[in-house]
Chains A and B, each alone.
Chain A
Amino acid sequence: MQKRFLGALIAVLALGGSTFGVPSVAAQTTAAGVPRMKDGKPNLTGLWQSLSTADWDIQAHGAQAGPFYQLGAIGAVPPGQGIVDGVEIPYLPAALEQKKKNFANRWKEDPVIKCYMPGVPRSNYMAFPFQIIQSQKDILIAYEFGSENRLINMGKPQEAVTDTWMGTSNGHWDGNTLVVDVTGFNGMAWLDRAGNFASDSLHVVERYSLLDANTMNYEATIEDPKTFSRPWKINVILYRHREKDARLLEFKCVEFTEELIYGDLRKKAGK
């Protein structure tokens, strides 16, 4: 193994984590070779993507059949080791019932099917890349899925003016880690395709840290007293796209959903 990779691996094991699930990586020490801005802060600019299957289900899950037998293997659910720190999501009893309902109806009810905004944190572990543009002031994240985006205000924190799908993001640096506090959600987004969800009281605290020049650790603490009995964490590794001339492409999905959303109306019109 290359020395650098071995070093990172040792760091991961040494920093350990909880008893089950993904060990959390507190990457306060940033490996050498990390790109930096003029002021010394790590430069997170790049085209990033998760390799996990967390968008299907953030909890550990085996392979499953998909909703359409006609798609056979390509429409099936791939397995995943899960990104939840601690295996179980601490739902309140009523919320757990709602989650089960969501799961049972997920091929109809998942808002992302209709190209609705995936919100935070789900946008960060979709099977689509996103581009971080980090200036000396604010940080912009542009997502390929549905052309969503969010601006992370790095100045004086601003309260959410209104509830939104992507929330209101205020960020600051904690050593080499970008910490982003996200509030002001409208409670309409899910956390994955398996029906995990939160309410409009959702509060997410994200931590982005470069493990090396091409790998970033993403941790999010999820808090929602209306849905969960306590805060809980997810942890995902993000990988930099290094293909020659890799760019964010356009995935405007509205057109793929109009038949689904409005098709019943057209049929009524006899068209």
Chain B
Amino acid sequence: MSKRIFALSSLIVFAAALPLAAQTPAALKPASPGNTAGSNAKSWSLSKTPWGDPDLQGTWTSDDTWGVPMERPVSYGDRLYLTEDELKAREKAVAQSKQRIENPSDENHSPAKRQLEAAAKGETAAPAAGAFGRGVDAAPVPGQFGEYARRASKQTSQIVDPPNGRIPELTAEGKAKQAAARATRGKTPETWTDWSIYDRCITRGVAGSIIPVIYGNGLEIVQTPGYVAIRYEMVHDTRIIPTDGRAHMPPGIRSYMGDPVGHWEGNTLVVETTNFNDKMGIGPNGGGIQSEDMKLTERFTRVADNTINYELTVDDPRTYTAKWKIAFPITHEPGYQLFEYACHEGNMAMRNMITGTIAEQAAAAAKKN
């Protein structure tokens, strides 16, 4: 994966110059028509599995939240939801993108087509206006990657708590870790450890496997008495979640995806995950930082035939000075399926990136001599 695409998929925040109306942050509302799928609330009721657990099964995607930045632009203040006008603008962009992707044609001029046309002339196509998901009012990436928002999210950010929608201040330990990570990212990558856990095709972690990026946003839930299993497309991780509220594994066992334990609270599946290693973080594609003491608490609540409300609370006092929470719906879309993502098996990029650096360095050295 090129560094540019990787950076794009990190959803960098920028300050939007929009007038603000102060608004009390509200808890994430259940899906409503126009925001997410939401079948008519009156006629829908949650079905249960034959053994009596709420049925969350099926294929789900976080596509509808693509384009919503994880951290809220500072200018939005404490406002979690878009105004009516802002929402209309986003709905328009989403509709255009959806139309373009679902009806590819010569007239649509998908970016792929423009890029190929430009390359044939030996040029580079300029990105379309508002493209590539920077900030609240961006249009979702259309076309060539296949994942796209089908409905306009009302949210200004994925983070819904603290009230300003931004990651809380880091502790001293967190800041030191972040500085070290930035130093690594800033230097010319020479070996595999200079690349992210994702680029190395190891995993994207618990949060990174569901926070939407340009592709690979799908997951599948399969249940059986006593367990809920979640299988993620990218990078083919499976979490086996026992729902008997058993104890976590001993602290000596640490892993990238941690040890999940679940229980039902009414119709909500609550999952607590501990026993993490500290090699990655909370963010798109597993970027960010965390400590081994991090505890993640997720809540999955099905609110419509094709909508599950998802919440993720990050509790890591060694890294962050406060807990923080991400929330967005995941939806079921007709025709959407998961594919095998044999990342490591096909990771020619790592080899190419390292040899590319070597070639650059050799060229620079040759110039000197």
Q: A262 CB to closest chain B CB, in angstroms?
A: 5
Closest to B260 in A: A247
Interface residues of A in 249-270 (CB under 8 A from B): 249-250, 252, 254-255, 258, 261-262, 265-266, 268-269
Q: Is B114's beta carbon under 8 Å from chain A?
A: no
- Looking across the interface, which residue of chain B has its beta carbon closest to that of A47? B240
Asked if A133 meets B202 with Cβ closer than 8 Å, knowing A117-B342, A166-B340, the reply is no
State how many angstroms separate the Cβ of B227 from the closest Cβ of chain A: 6
Is A170 engaged at the interface, CB distance under 8 Å to the other chain?
Answer: no
- A165-B343 Cα distance, complex, nearest whole Å: 11
What is the interface size of chain A, counting residues whose CB is below 8 A from a CB of the partner? 46
Residues of B within 8 A of A261 (CB): 351
Contact B50 A39 (CB under 8 A): yes
Main secondary structure of the interface of B (DSSP, over half): loop
Interchain CB contact (< 8 A) of A250 among B200, B235, B255, B344: B255
Do residues B50 and A136 form an inter-chain contact, with CB atoms below 8 A? yes
Chain B: CB-nearest residue to A166: B340
- Complex-state Cα separation, A248 to B227, whole angstroms: 12
Bound Cα distance A271, B339 (Å): 37
Does A142 lie within 8 Å of B361, measured CB to CB? no
B229, CB-defined interface residue at 8 Å: yes
Total A-B pairs, Cβ < 8 A: 119
Closest-CB distance, B344 to chain A (whole angstroms): 5
Interface size bracket, B side: 35 or more
Asked if A254 and B340 sit within 8 Å, CB to CB, the answer is no
Task: Given A161-B339, A254-B202, A254-B344, check contact A38 B50 (CB 8 Å).
Answer: yes
A38, A147, A245: residue with the most chain B Cβ atoms closer than 10 Å: A147
Q: Quick one: which of B222, B350, B358 contacts A268, CB cutoff 8 A? A: B358
1/0 per residue, CB under 8 A from B, across A32-49: the answer is 000001110001010000
On chain A, the residues within 8 Å of B138 by CB distance are none
User: What is the CB-to-nearest-CB distance from B27 to chain A, in angstroms, rounded to a whole number?
Assistant: 31
Are the CB atoms of A142 and B240 closer together than 8 Å? yes
CB atoms of A258 and B238 under 8 A apart = no
A254–B200 CA distance with the chains assembled, in angstroms = 8
> Is there contact, CB below 8 Å, between B351 and A133?
no
| B340–A135 touching, CB < 8 Å | no
Give chain B residues whose Cβ lies under 8 Å from the Cβ of A114: 344
Query: In this assembly, does B354 line the interface, its C-beta being within 8 Å of a C-beta of chain A?
Result: yes
Please tell me if the beta carbons of A262 and B354 are within 8 angstroms of each other in the complex.
yes
- B256 contacts A by Cβ under 8 Å: yes
Any B CB within 8 A of the CB of A131 = yes
| Chain A residues closer than 8 Å to B227, beta-carbon distance | 45, 133
From known contacts A38-B50, A136-B49, A140-B231, infer whether A164 and B342 are also in contact, taking CB-CB under 8 Å: yes
CB <8 Å contact, A149 and B345: no
Query: In the assembled complex, which residues on chain B have CB atoms less than 8 Å from the CB atom of A162?
Result: 339-340
A135/B350 contact (C-beta < 8 A), A252-B256, A254-B344, A269-B358 known: no
B103 within 8 A of A: no
Q: Is B357 an interface residue (CB 8 A)?
A: yes
Given A133-B240, A135-B49, A165-B342, A269–B191 Cβ distance below 8 Å? yes
Cβ of A151 under 8 Å from chain B: yes
B70 on interface, CB distance cutoff 8 Å: no
- A212–B104 Cα distance when bound, in Å, is 54
Contact of A147 among B200, B203, B222, B253 (CB under 8 A): B203
Residues of chain A with a CB closer than 8 A to B240's CB = 131, 133, 142, 247-248
With a 10 A CB-CB cut-off, give which of B57, B231, B351 has the most chain A CB atoms: B231
A residues 43-63 touching B (CB-CB < 8 Å): 43, 45
Contact with A164, one of B50, B223, B340 (Cβ below 8 angstroms) = B340
**A98 contacts B by Cβ under 8 Å:** no
Which residues of chain B come closer than 8 Å to A166, judged between CB atoms?
A: 340
Q: Most chain-B CB neighbours within 10 Å: which of A116, A133, A162, A166?
A: A133
Given contacts A116-B345, A142-B238, 16 further A-B contacts (CB under 8 A): A38-B51, A131-B238, A133-B240, A135-B57, A136-B49, A147-B236, A148-B236, A164-B342, A188-B345, A248-B240, A252-B255, A255-B202, A258-B192, A266-B190, A269-B190, A269-B191
Nearest 10 CB-CB pairings of A with B: A250-B255, A142-B238, A38-B50, A164-B340, A140-B222, A133-B229, A265-B354, A149-B238, A45-B224, A258-B192
Binding site for B on A (CB under 8 A): 37-39, 43, 45, 111, 114-117, 131, 133-140, 142, 147-149, 151, 161-162, 164-166, 188, 245, 247-250, 252, 254-255, 258, 261-262, 265-266, 268-269, 271
13 A-B pairs in the complex with CB atoms less than 8 angstroms apart: A39-B50, A111-B345, A116-B344, A135-B224, A149-B236, A162-B340, A165-B342, A250-B256, A250-B257, A262-B192, A265-B354, A265-B358, A269-B190
